[in-house]
């Protein structure tokens, strides 16, 4: 493509203007005059009379003046119409078939890509916002949940403490009561044991003192009276 | 330098070029035709290489040129004049814009310095193509009778005025339009080329004569070269947007 362009350019650049290629007014006049002389003279030999005659011929003068008349610049030249028209037609075919769709297609594809990218970015932003709000909601839920759990734990702990405290107090009271009962029982037992021991000793002592035997009822009355006496004196 | 006075060719010889190839035949090739071919090669090269490149997010080089061109035609020409339904004409309008632009821009390319559209061949050919297209579009979208009725008897005009409006519309829409389109482009490029040639010759002549005197015409030459770049682009744009306006007018008769 570049090579053909360069070669085309070089041809155009080297093409000379009409005047430079021998189509000037001077060359036109010389050509026409020579032509008229040939028409005028019978032989190849041209005399000064011939030149004089031809130079003063009005028809020849008109013909020479035509050299000064330029062709109409507004009338198009057939060869240029053919080449220009063909060139435009060729370019139109190339552009319609290949050039224009390729460039426009690339432009549309780019526009489409940019639009798609913007849409995708917008979508991503929306998604991110959704995710963010989801996270925020979850975070809020988690906070509520944790507060609830903490509150529940606190309530449970309080309850547990109250329960344990009550249980401990109950145990202590029970133990205290049991201990008091034990003490009472042991005290009663000790008193009973002591009473039996003392009665035995007192009986033996009384027997030895009076040396007389008493019946069982009399002994029992005597012992009780003794014990009461002892108890009353101790208490 | 002997470009002045007697040896300077008549003014049209600034525009007429001798045949380079196939001399004397109907397909003879001259500088003007080569510029048309160069416009084909350049436009094709830009678009084909831009289309072949892997699509990047930020277009660079020729891809940028092609895409800026397409975007320009879409936003500033089609959407402004026809609307979304005009997008199917974009390949045609884009081709036309670049073809005219590159044919024009050779006016300021050193060594070539000739706007191919200062020859009537392409302007008139394209204008006739445009004439065919907008008439065809009008007939297809409004029907034969509807198209001519809407064109010749524009809706909303008081009936009495049709006596004046209808002949004017007939001449302007169906006769003058292609020629005004062609001549606008052609005449602008002719004028531009003549301006550049004038200042170039003036510069050369005054340089030979006085040296210092050449400064002013040379400054003008530089200035006009810049101006002609603008004109080349502007004329391509005007030709294209008028084509779009005519097509849009055929599609929407009310506007």
First to last CA, chain A: 144
**B129: closest CA among B178, B90, B173, B169?**
B178
Q: Is B68's Cβ below 8 Å from some Cβ in A? A: no
- In B, residues 212-231, which contact A (CB 8 Å cutoff)? none
Q: In this complex, do B26 and A75 lie within 8 Å of one another by their Cβ atoms?
A: no
**B181: closest CA among B232, B95, B245, B224?**
B245
Best residue of A87, A108, A115, A118 to probe chain B, by most B CBs closer than 10 Å: A87
Q: Is B179's Cβ below 8 Å from some Cβ in A? A: no
Q: Is A116's Cβ below 8 Å from some Cβ in B? A: no
**Shortest CB distance from A11 goes to which of B20, B55, B183?**
B20
Q: Are A15 and B35 in contact (CB under 8 A)?
A: no
Give the pLDDT of residue A18: 37
Q: Is 80 exceeded by the pLDDT of residue A45?
A: no
CB neighbour list of residue B101: distance below 8 Å, 6 or more residues apart: B39, B232, B233, B236
**What is the band of A143 on the pLDDT scale with cuts at 50, 70, 90?**
very high
Q: Is B195's Cβ below 8 Å from some Cβ in A? A: no
Q: Cα separation of B60 and B44, whole Å? A: 17
Interface A–B counts its CB contacts (< 8 A) at 214
pLDDT means per 10 residues in chain B (255 residues)?
41 75 88 94 93 72 89 94 92 96 93 90 95 95 91 87 92 93 96 91 89 91 96 97 94 72
Q: Which two tokens stand for residue B233?
A: 């682009």
Mean pLDDT rounded to a whole number for chain A: 81
**Shortest CB distance from B37 goes to which of A8, A76, A95?**
A8
**What is the band of A214 on the pLDDT scale with cuts at 50, 70, 90?**
low
CA distance A146 to chain B (A): 51
Domain that holds residue B154: 5-251
**Shortest CB distance from B28 goes to which of A79, A104, A106?**
A79
Give the pLDDT of residue A234: 61
Domain assignments of chain A as residue spans, ordered by start? 20-71, 184-234
Q: pTM of the predicted model, to two decimals?
A: 0.70
Q: Cα separation of A224 and A215, whole Å? A: 14
CB neighbour list of residue A61: distance below 8 Å, 6 or more residues apart: none
Query: What is the predicted ipTM?
Result: 0.90
Q: Cα separation of A202 and B16, whole Å? A: 177
Q: In this complex, do A84 and B122 lie within 8 Å of one another by their Cβ atoms?
A: yes
Structurally, chain B folds into a number of domains equal to 1
Q: Is A3's Cβ below 8 Å from some Cβ in B? A: no
Give the pLDDT of residue A225: 82
Give helix A78-94 / helix B31-52 axis angle, nearest 10°. Answer: 0
Q: Cα separation of A172 and A170, whole Å? A: 5
- Per the DSSP assignment, residues forming a β-bridge with B29 are B21
pLDDT 10s digits, A7-34: 444 434 433 343 333 456 777 788 888 8
Q: Cα separation of A4 and B40, whole Å? A: 11
């Amino acid at each position: 493509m570049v090579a053909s362009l360069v070669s085309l350019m070089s041809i155009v650049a080297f093409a000379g203007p009409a005047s430079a290629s021998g189509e000037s007014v001077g060359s036109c006049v010389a050509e026409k005059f020579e032509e008229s002389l040939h028409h005028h003279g019978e032989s190849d030999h041209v005399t000064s009379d011939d030149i004089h005659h031809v130079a003063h011929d009005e028809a020849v003068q008109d013909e020479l003046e035509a050299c000064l008349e330029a062709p109409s610049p507004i009338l198009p030249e057939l060869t240029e119409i053919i080449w220009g028209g063909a060139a435009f037609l060729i370019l139109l075919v190339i552009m319609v078939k290949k050039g224009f769709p390729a460039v426009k297609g690339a432009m549309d594809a780019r526009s489409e890509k940019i639009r798609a990218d913007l849409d995708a970015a917008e979508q991503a932003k929306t998604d991110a916002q959704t995710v963010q709000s989801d996270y925020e909601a979850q975070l809020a839920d988690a906070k509520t949940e944790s507060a609830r759990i903490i509150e529940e734990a606190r309530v449970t702990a309080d309850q547990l403490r109250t329960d344990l405290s009550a249980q401990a107090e109950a145990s202590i009271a029970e133990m205290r009561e049991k201990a008091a009962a034990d003490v009472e029982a042991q005290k009663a037992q000790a008193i009973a044991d002591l009473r039996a021991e003392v009665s035995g000793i007192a009986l033996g002592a009384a027997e030895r003192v009076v040396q007389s035997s008493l019946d069982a009822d009399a002994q029992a009355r005597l012992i009780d009276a003794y014990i009461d006496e002892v108890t009353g004196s101790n208490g | 330098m002997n470009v002045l006075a007697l040896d300077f060719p008549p003014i049209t010889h600034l525009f007429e070029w001798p045949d380079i190839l196939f001399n004397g035949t109907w397909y003879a090739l001259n500088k003007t035709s080569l510029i048309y071919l160069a416009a084909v090669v350049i436009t094709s090269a830009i678009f084909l290489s831009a289309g072949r490149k892997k699509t990047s997010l930020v277009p660079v080089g020729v891809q940028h040129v092609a895409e800026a061109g397409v975007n320009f035609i879409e936003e500033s020409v089609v959407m402004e004049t026809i609307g979304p339904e005009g997008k199917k004409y974009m390949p045609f309008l884009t081709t036309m814009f670049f073809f005219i632009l590159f044919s024009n821009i050779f006016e300021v390319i050193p060594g070539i310095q000739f706007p191919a559209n200062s020859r009537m061949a392409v302007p008139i050919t394209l204008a006739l193509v445009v004439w065919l297209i907008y008439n065809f579009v009008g007939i297809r979208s409004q029907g034969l009778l509807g198209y001519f009725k809407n064109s010749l008897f524009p809706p909303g005009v008081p009936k009495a005025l049709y006596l004046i409006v209808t002949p004017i519309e007939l001449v302007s829409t169906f006769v003058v339009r292609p020629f005004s389109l062609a001549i606008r482009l052609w005449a602008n490029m002719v004028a531009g080329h003549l301006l550049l040639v004038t200042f170039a010759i003036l510069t050369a002549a005054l340089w030979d004569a006085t040296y210092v005197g050449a400064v002013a015409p040379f400054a003008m030459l530089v200035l006009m070269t810049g101006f002609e770049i603008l004109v080349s682009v502007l004329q391509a744009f005007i030709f294209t947007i008028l084509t779009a306006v005519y097509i849009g007018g055929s599609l929407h008769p009310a506007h």
